[in-house]
Amino acid sequence: MSQKVIELLNEARTRELTAITQYMAQHYELDAQASGKVGSKIKEIAITEMKHAEQLAERILFLGGAPIYKPSASPKKGEEIPTLIKTDIGLETEAIEMYNDAASVCGAEKDQVSRHLFEELLGDEEGHLNYFQTTLAHVEKLGAAYLSTLAD
């Protein structure tokens, strides 16, 4: 199999690991601030990202590669809700762009299984992006009134 595909799968895996650590850090902080509604949703998204990381590792192993186990960045901490949502929008936007490109490369490399995996992950990432964009729009439009609805 193509080394290029294994590298793309590992790049995606590091992105997923980064998202996991970021989202779990946010979840813990939001729970401590009694903003559990948004924290619970972010935890749910983190769990989906964990499943993505595992799927990518399994594919890498199948192709004879070695999965990377380290995130590409440390989580940002202490962000206010609007800022942390913007951080999450950035993570999801970058993943969507990378996964779209990776799916095309996998197709060109005649690895339809890896292409399909990237396309499957894209659907989830687009859903995550939609959640974050919608939440940010509500926060920006309604401000403190909306933030108060996120409290436990």
Give me the helix-helix angle, 3-32 and 112-142, nearest 10°: 30
- For residue 119, pLDDT over 90 is answered with yes
Domain CATH code at residue 84: 1.20.1260.10
Domain extent, residue 96, equals 3-149
Note the pLDDT tens digit of each residue in 66-105.
Answer: 999 999 899 999 998 899 999 999 999 999 999 999 999 9
Note the pLDDT tens digit of each residue in 19-67.
Answer: 999 999 999 998 887 777 888 899 999 999 999 999 999 999 999 999 9
Q: How far apart are CA 133 and CA 137, in angstroms?
A: 6
55 Cβ partners below 8 Å, 6+ apart?
A: 117, 121
How many domains does the chain fold into?
A: 1
pTM: 0.92
Q: How far apart are CA 115 and CA 62, in angstroms?
A: 14
